[in-house]
Structure 1
Amino acid sequence: MAPPCAAVGTTVAVVNDTVLPGDDLSYLLVSSKGKKLRLGPGLRQETDSVVSCKCGILRKKEPNVYWIDNHQKRYVPVKGETVLGIVTGKAGDVFKVDIGGSVPATLSYLAFEGATKRNRPNVDIGDVVYGRLLVANRDMEPELVCMDSAGRSGGLGVITGGNMFQCSLGLVQKILSPQSTLVKHLGQIMPMEIAAGMNGRVWIRCKTIAATIAAMNAITNAEFMTEAQIRLMVNKLHDTIH
């Protein structure tokens, strides 16, 4: 089936096609068919129109989530995204967390599962935290939480051990894509724990340091590979470590 496309004036936009800053993508509002439309990084809504503000590939996730996929390294916080941050300071009851944006994010000590005034989480400067952005807009500093709407951690919180490395935002989106088999193939040859933040940071822990370094190199090298090339690389890695 061909990808959906529509014309707006003289502009024709196609999902999975290249778009440039300033392109009119207002057809997204029409194609949403009354359902809530969610715009991710690279897209913004101006009254009754949708405009691209980045150069890259227009992507879609069902039911109505659209974003621009590119290889930028500077992160712009987006509400609802999960990120990996480093605790850099503490001001009163709030932690300051570096998430790679223009300003640090704030993280309340009450934003952890089971946290109370008497039962405070054990968080120190330098710790790596995996959190979700509760607030993210241009007029306020980002705010992180390490629990879901039900008050449970759901895998969020302070992460210990392992190694964290920086990569492009496009590689993180590739890792998290349902169509990507990179992590699945790596997990078949070496047990691992992995957490990918939308801010271009990946944390990984394997049984040995050598396996962790091998997995980090494999993930980094896979950025511009096809699925066939990824499978070939993982097979060679399997032969090397076994």
Structure 2
Amino acid sequence: MMIANVGSPVLPGFRVEEAVEIAKTNKKVVLGPGLRQDKDDMVIVCKSGVLRKKHPNTFWVDCYQKRYVPNRGEIVIGIVVQKAGDIFRVDIGASESASLSYMAFEGATKKNRPDVNVGDVICARLLIANRDLEPELICVDSHGKKAKLGVLHEGLVFNCGINLVRKILNPKCAFLDLLAKEMSFEMAAGMNGRIWIKGKTVKQTIALGNAILAVEFKSNDELKDLCDDIGSYVAGFS
């Protein structure tokens, strides 16, 4: 069985011995998408891609995919597709819809229910993500606060590759900072390959969406020119 090294391409079946050695020192190791632990406590790669590591001890496989596999704790953008009693059914782009209780909102009570309707766009966090259980969402943080989660009003929602979401959310990517210098906007990015964007006008919102989609195939050196171009383009409508 091949040994996987951080930063190198990997295939299903490769072993991540670095993660196992860290775990032997009683340090906490977090396994992200593309990795699993077998019955012998060996960490095995289950997706093709590039093995990544984040300080201190988080490992995952960076792979190009459009089909979303839910992972606990991730932020996702969903669309409410059904309301059944006290539960909302939310499409998050996975193999099955996720459930969202009306009590999973800040300040929600039996008398003070959140204003959520079919068709609404929701920014939520995955509370339960298990292959044997239905995904479950919440719209509060660990302190019970909204923390920018909940219903997203107006704006534009579009699908993209999960790799693009990871790229623009990477602290080393200066795209969002550069774009914010050109115009003001609101954005929510879900790890399920969906992005919600809202500019001051409809034309700005569409331009922002096109700019974000173009980032996937741009190098860091090309991002400033892209933001300058989109700023000049939008200025032509003002």
TM-score tier, shorter chain, comes to over 0.9
TM-score after normalising by structure 1: 0.92
- Whole-Å separation in 1 of the counterparts to 2:2 and 2:48: 16
- Whole-Å separation in 2 of the counterparts to 1:134 and 1:232: 39
| Cross-structure match for 2:203 | 210
Unaligned residue ranges in structure 1 (runs of 5+): 1-9
- Whole-Å separation in 2 of the counterparts to 1:51 and 1:233: 39
Q: How far off its partner does 1:12 sit?
A: 4.3
1:18 aligns with 2:9: yes
Q: Deviations over 1:21-63 (max 9, x none)?
A: 1111122121354321111111111132111111112122222
Q: How far off its partner does 1:220 sit?
A: 0.5
**CA root-mean-square deviation:** 1.3
Residue pairs, 1:98-109, within 5 angstroms: 98-109=91-102
- Whole-Å separation in 2 of the counterparts to 1:207 and 1:16: 40
**Secondary structure class of the residue paired with 1:85:** strand
Q: Is the 2:5–2:16 contact (alpha carbons within 8 Å) kept by the matching residues of 1?
A: no
- Whole-Å separation in 1 of the counterparts to 2:50 and 2:177: 24
Higher mean C-alpha displacement, 53-62 vs 70-79: 53-62
- Whole-Å separation in 1 of the counterparts to 2:180 and 2:59: 29
Q: State the one-letter code of the partner of 2:160.
A: C
- Whole-Å separation in 1 of the counterparts to 2:217 and 2:51: 17
1:28 aligns with 2:44: no
Q: State the one-letter code of the partner of 1:79.
A: R
**Secondary structure class of the residue paired with 2:82:** strand
Q: State the one-letter code of the partner of 2:13.
A: G
| Cross-structure match for 1:40 | 32
Q: State the one-letter code of the partner of 2:7.
A: N
Q: Deviations over 1:156-203 (max 9, x none)?
A: 001101001000111111111111111111111010100000000000
Which of 99, 112, 115 lines up with 2:108 in the alignment? 115
1:182 aligns with 2:175: yes
| Cross-structure match for 1:3 | none
Q: How far off its partner does 1:237 sit?
A: 2.2
Q: State the one-letter code of the partner of 1:81.
A: E
Which of 217, 239, 242 lines up with 2:232 in the alignment? 239
| Cross-structure match for 1:156 | 149
1:96 aligns with 2:89: yes
Larger fraction in strand: 1
Q: Deviations over 1:58-97 (max 9, x none)?
A: 1222221111112200000001101000000011110000
Q: How far off its partner does 1:236 sit?
A: 2.3
**Secondary structure class of the residue paired with 1:184:** helix
% identity of equivalent residues? 50
**Secondary structure class of the residue paired with 2:4:** strand
- Whole-Å separation in 2 of the counterparts to 1:226 and 1:14: 25
**Secondary structure class of the residue paired with 2:192:** coil
Unaligned residue ranges in structure 2 (runs of 5+): none
- Whole-Å separation in 2 of the counterparts to 1:13 and 1:224: 27
**Secondary structure class of the residue paired with 1:110:** helix
Count residues in correspondence: 233
| Cross-structure match for 1:129 | 122
Q: State the one-letter code of the partner of 1:16.
A: G
| Cross-structure match for 1:6 | none
**Secondary structure class of the residue paired with 1:13:** coil
Q: State the one-letter code of the partner of 2:61.
A: I
- Whole-Å separation in 2 of the counterparts to 1:182 and 1:16: 23
Higher mean C-alpha displacement, 112-121 vs 64-73: 64-73
